[in-house]
């Protein structure tokens, strides 16, 4: 495995786990086991496959911090979760020792993730690297500014980028490693991940980075 991927896992769908000095989750969904080890949980938006209370409970500790876009804050409060940070695009912050930048995530020409909802992706500092987890998005101009080492990008189409569009995003972002997400659960399948990995530009390594068992 590429050493840049040490401690990183794609848990399925859009879920990412980063386990090192701090343990970080992004959009835990269909986790299937008790981890109960999260220092920080990042939520990109309020759709059920990204903000899943039952899965958050499988990774959350008593002192876990949830980082959320504005429209998810009230739902977190209703669930009794008050150790939260509301993030907006452009915000740079350190939470529980984890540095991150919140960046926009939205559709162009599709109604599912409107720009005015303020939904997010995150560029997270982990193990000395910058890890970009895009959230549900199309190829957007802001990606040209998303300097990162590892990029997790949706490939399933319908609600997000297709595999071909995700390759376009890689050309904008220029990560060292790219990992496909958002396939196999709600929409898309292994063929989309394979198409993405097969067409990455020279100089960018691809990896499925599937859940360790």
Determine the Cα angle at 14 with ends 83 and 210, to 5°: 115
Identify the segments of the chain with pLDDT beneath 70: 211-213
CATH class (in words) of the domain with range 3-202:
alpha beta
2: helix, coil or strand? coil
Residue 156, CA distances (Å) to 82, 121, 166 in order = 33, 17, 9
pLDDT, tens digit, for every residue of 103-160?
Answer: 999 999 898 999 999 999 999 999 999 999 999 999 999 999 999 999 999 999 889 9
Euclidean distance between CA atoms 147 and 208, whole angstroms: 21
| Structural tokens at position 92 | 């740079």
* Domain limits, the chain: 3-202
In what side-by-side order are the strands of the sheet with 38-42?
8-12, 15-19, 23-26, 38-42, 60-68, 84-86
* Per-residue model confidence (pLDDT) at position 212: 57
């Amino acid at each position: 495995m590429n050493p840049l991927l040490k401690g990183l896992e794609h848990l399925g769908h859009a879920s990412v786990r980063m386990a090192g000095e701090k343990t970080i989750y992004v959009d835990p969904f269909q986790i299937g086991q008790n981890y109960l080890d999260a220092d920080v949980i990042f939520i990109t938006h309020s759709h059920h496959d990204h903000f899943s209370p039952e899965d958050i409970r499988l990774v959350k500790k008593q002192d876990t911090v949830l980082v959320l876009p504005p429209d998810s804050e009230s739902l977190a409060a209703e669930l009794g979760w008050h150790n939260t940070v509301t993030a907006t695009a452009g915000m740079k912050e350190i939470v529980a020792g984890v540095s991150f930048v919140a960046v926009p995530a939205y559709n162009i020409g599709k109604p599912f993730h409107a720009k005015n909802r303020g939904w997010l992706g995150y560029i997270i500092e982990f193990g000395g690297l910058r890890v970009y987890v895009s959230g549900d998005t199309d190829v957007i101009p802001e990606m040209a500014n998303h300097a990162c080492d590892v990029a997790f990008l949706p490939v399933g189409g319908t609600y997000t980028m297709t595999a071909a569009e995700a390759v376009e995003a890689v050309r904008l972002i220029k990560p060292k490693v790219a990992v496909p997400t958002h396939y196999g659960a709600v929409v898309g399948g292994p063929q989309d991940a394979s198409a993405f990995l097969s067409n990455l530009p020279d100089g960018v390594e691809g990896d499925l980075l599937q859940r360790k068992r």
